[in-house]
Structure 1
């Protein structure tokens, strides 16, 4: 198992190296696809600060799967909570006290990921739980990489198609009438969605491990029961998150911004966001089932068709060819009008 983990790390590091060029030249790339100069400039700053995080993530993912495959979950949770709490403190210090802005936020995120990697590595090396599965670094990890690559590329494509779809929505929002308000509002909505998705990705990872183990042990009925239990849990969590988003649509937005135009735009998008939160709570679980069952290639084609052949084109048509595309702009105009009326009333009162 340790050899497989090392093979995964080698492939992940190779992918991180290739992505480094995209991150480094993200500014020209953003300009080439039509983003405004301010968006491209800020995006390039943030992306450059995330380059160290690429390599930390390349190490962290195989380590986490290595531990999860052995049902070592609680230590991972404890390490995640500790790093998360430290990350909040460091981000506040770097961004607000030291005033390092976007670059400081990105570098803090990279530092937190590397800290998480170090903790994972120390646990794997020192813990008695991994004594039999981790026997140290081995040159054997470089043998059999090509068959392993062919096995994992389907999973990579499947997950990339899922994640890139959300990022594509953010890029498209930068091409709308008011790119600043549009980008801010859709980014806040994506954060809401990511809160729910973090729970679901955790359930998805556990589902893939559980289903894979049970199918490998010849217990298909237990695997089926596990899928039903996890799906039921995900539906309950998604309903709770959807209700929270609807009830606290304004309060949650104020956690991210004080700009009333953006808050109003997010409020207008909240009903659609609640539906997305509910549906996206189910989809990652099914992806986990697919990974555990070895259906990655099939699901990759399904994701390609549903996200990019159906979903994204429809979203572009609704954004640029219908009145829905100016919803954010209309929200901004309403806020401006309201502010002007309040100011006029104040002047008259004086």
Structure 2
């Protein structure tokens, strides 16, 4: 009775509250309390975990929505200048910017593993070192990427883009060069804060920046007449505002006092090992993000591809909206697992994985039911064409399955980042997506003349195989060994011990 009273006392806190800078040991104590009946333990632990998820996932989803909102506003203002300008801005955003965003976000995910585990282990001084080390690696990576932006015009022309569109797109891309280095600083900072469960300040900063972005973009286009390069430069400026505001928060907030102790020469130690972990993280994320884009590219090779491309574009837009929720659970899973492993709480890490996966899956299932229910009307938000609407309705079962899989797969990827399995998952992604999924999609789509359905079937097959593999690996994991690995990773960072799962 006393144990149950203690467990109940642990829950007498507001549902949404500022997350503590310490890893909370309440859940581990509940899970290991043999005096409580088994299902009571699960009940109390679930309530504790759901509070963590709500505090972590909701602001992360909001930040992701706001960041996408800035890109959308940029395209809207470009469209007000003309259809050619809209095409150029869309090409710059969807091509060069998304490539840079995915690469930098992926490389910045290395900080999630190390900062999360270090914070859980109370090695607070190392968080600032990892932040600086990651920033150095990403800034160095950004230097060669500027060449891609500088030579965007001949690159686009060689890919078959019309000369006038390529010329306008290159002007837009030039204004995004400062954004490369904003990403290089922002993503390590973002992961540094997330690893300490500090997520709400980033949401406030992003929301304020979105308002400024709207005002500055309006001034650049309608008052100053700066054109495309001014519009993209404002986009870069907005990202730098986010960076500087987060830096100011880290410097001034008492919540970062122990984790940020100033610049250190240790940031330049072990850069190669850090680059390897960062590169593995980038490969893992980029292979996932490029996979759906290849689906659209293959659809463009179909006979009479107009309806197929339009219907797929609508389905991908709906899927992207749903995926924003999954991104929040991805961040929550990474933080929770890395913190618990660093703190030496194997049961909490395993339980958090199960709860996060289950909640995300149930939400995705609900979204899929809504998609199926609205399959005959939802496309009219995007188009007036009955043919495209019919094609979208025909593809809605594939969209629903994809949304359900996306409710599980990103969470498992977040768990992998929390454990430091990035290299392993990268190999899984290569095999499932590019050896299985795309070839199956090509054969079904073109050889068996199934069209967009065949291509999407291949995509689902690859994602399903990847999800099954990650589920098996995750739920067969020896979490006690993962705790030991996390401890060794932190102890031997300066040595030659590998950071990646072998």
Q: Which category of TM-score, normalised to the shorter sequence, fits these structures?
A: 0.7 to 0.9
Q: Which residue matches 1:220?
A: 346
Structure 1 residues 174, 83: closer, same or farther in 2, change over 3 A?
Answer: farther
The farther-off stretch of 246-255 and 316-325 is 246-255
Deviations 1:209-231 (A, max 9, x none): 21112122221111111011101
Q: Which residue matches 2:398?
A: 272
Structure 1 residues 91, 75: closer, same or farther in 2, change over 3 A?
Answer: same
| Larger proportion of helix | 1
Contact 2:361 2:408 in 1 (8 A): yes
1:121 alignment partner, one of 247, 255, 258: 247
How far apart are the structure 2 equivalents of 1:55 and 1:88?
Answer: 22
Q: Which residue matches 2:313?
A: 187
How far apart are the structure 2 equivalents of 1:255 and 1:23?
Answer: 34
Q: Which residues in structure 2 correspond to 1:1-350 (within 5 Å)?
A: 1-26=127-152, 28-29=154-155, 32=158, 47=173, 50-84=176-210, 109-178=235-304, 181-249=307-375, 252-257=378-383, 262-325=388-451
The farther-off stretch of 179-188 and 301-310 is 179-188
How far apart are the structure 1 equivalents of 2:321 and 2:174?
Answer: 24
Structure 1 residues 240, 317: closer, same or farther in 2, change over 3 A?
Answer: same
Deviations 1:68-95 (A, max 9, x none): 1111122123333444466567778888
Q: What's the Cα RMSD here?
A: 3.6
How far apart are the structure 2 equivalents of 1:9 and 1:208?
Answer: 20
- 1:60: Cα distance to partner? 1.4
Contact 2:277 2:423 in 1 (8 A): no
Structure 1 residues 213, 302: closer, same or farther in 2, change over 3 A?
Answer: same
Deviations 1:82-140 (A, max 9, x none): 44466567778888999999878755644443332222222112212112222333443
Give the number of aligned pairs: 328
- 1:203: Cα distance to partner? 1.3
Structure 1 residues 241, 84: closer, same or farther in 2, change over 3 A?
Answer: farther
Deviations 1:260-294 (A, max 9, x none): 65544434332211111110111011111111122
Which secondary structure does the structure 2 equivalent of 1:135 belong to? Answer: coil
The farther-off stretch of 246-255 and 53-62 is 246-255
Contact 1:177 1:326 in 2 (8 A): no
TM, length-normalised to structure 2? 0.57
Contact 1:23 1:47 in 2 (8 A): yes
Contact 1:35 1:175 in 2 (8 A): no
Contact 2:336 2:352 in 1 (8 A): yes
Deviations 1:141-174 (A, max 9, x none): 2232112212332222211211121232233333
Contact 1:230 1:285 in 2 (8 A): yes
Contact 2:299 2:452 in 1 (8 A): no
How far apart are the structure 1 equivalents of 2:203 and 2:389?
Answer: 33
Contact 1:161 1:300 in 2 (8 A): yes
Structure 1 residues 50, 188: closer, same or farther in 2, change over 3 A?
Answer: farther
How far apart are the structure 2 equivalents of 1:137 and 1:293?
Answer: 27
How far apart are the structure 2 equivalents of 1:48 and 1:178?
Answer: 35
- 1:45: Cα distance to partner? 6.5
Structure 1 residues 299, 15: closer, same or farther in 2, change over 3 A?
Answer: same
Gaps of 5+ in 2: 1-126, 455-502
